[in-house]
Structure 1
């Protein structure tokens, strides 16, 4: 009996010396540094594939199951050996086996429940993973948007600060700008109404001028006929013809009407060969009439027209080629009428502008 007990003690000593306890292996696994592994042999590129990762995990689970089985086997052997070699070995009865069976069944039931919970958790993870990924992408995009908006806000604040420095008080506000715009709209409407009334008055004035010019042409024809008749009567009857007085009165009336139509104020001979005619240019858009002075120069001791000049309110007018043809033709009426019409047209054009 002593020999068997010595053998059992020796076996127990050997088992303790060999360090077969799985707890020591677990502690070594936790304390092991995996950072020292070579990157070339770690298969980091391969682990990026989900299929490879799944197969690797399955292999590790199988290995851990085998390791767990070996641990349970060795633990059972250890307990069995200790029970055999021990002097006070516990008494194993059917009741103790039944208790162990019940505890094992309870542990199995708990394990099964935990496995079901784990499966539910895994299913929840598979269901929520796409949603979490979507929320993550949204959060990431919102974060980048917030960053860009923050940069834009800083740029806007900097630009606003520069504008405030460049444009000190008082600054134009929206209210003052709106009020100024309303005033300008009212002024534009008033100016538009004034322009329309001015255009209407100008059109009426043009019609009046055309009617007066037709009357002037008619009076010119009448004047020419009267002069011709006067010359004819003078040649036939002499200076004592009684019709001369009536013709003279008629001629004076015609000249007065012509002067009133052409606004002729005065005609004065400055010298033997210079005649100065003064006209009043009346514009419906001007309160004060303007004075037109037309100077006619003749060849001395003749009635041949040499040149002509005009001044409007003391300002010399550039007549250009307008007087060339009448001067060459010695047509005083055409010259006077052309200058007068030109000045009236310039006045009307300046009003339009």
Structure 2
């Protein structure tokens, strides 16, 4: 449609180009402009577009896109936002279809040449709708699969997010602790500076170190001497061990030979067992721990009296049964001095032992 301004300009140019035209043409042009202005005022096509863009639809909330102010970090918030967007788009689609249908309907009614609707056209539209529905189903299926994948991964993402958040908090705490420790160390260094080493102090420290080294050298020499002594002792003991091994081997051979021989008197084994039993019983009754002959004329007896060892050493005159001396250990000497002397003069060894044990038990 030709604009009114262009029509007025055309009419004015024609009037200027043809001076012989009548005033009726100018009047007709003005009447046509007035008619077009009335038609424009009645249709309001230009203003309707601006009103449609500025209109706020009821039930549709304002959508916040990627550039919005909300920071979507939590998967649950993302899911709720996606649901809100889907609802918004569905409502927007419905409104679009409604407005498109209204627009087509108005254009069909207002237009002079109405489009011809035939069954063939309807069939083509139906086929197009079927294709679009099939494509839409495929896209919906892909979208559902993607949504399921997102739901499955949401738990792992949430766990990773919590772990990352915990590690971030831990790193922040550790960094703060490190800063506090450095600050404390700096304060300690300022409060307790290292002492400056003077020449006098250095000489004193050197003298003390020299004395300590001399003491350590002396101690090392003593230790080396002890090591040499121990080595000599080990050599002697090793020779003694070898000698005892030879003696043990000879004794074992003698035992094997004695075991192989036949005992003529069968009562020897029984008598030996009886004697061993009686000796053990006698020692237990008398509290005798050990009886050892140091030499041909010296006998050493050890008794256990009240959890205390009492050692009695008896010395005899060689080749006689005469008691010459007696030594007692484990009992106070002032308690048994007269008893020992009296029994030595009487040559009573058994009486001496019993008297000493009686005094020890009584004390």
The TM-score normalised by the length of structure 2 is 0.31
Task: Determine which structure has greater relative contact order: mean sequence separation of CA pairs < 8 Å that are 6+ residues apart, divided by chain length.
Answer: 1
- TM-score by length of structure 1 reads 0.32
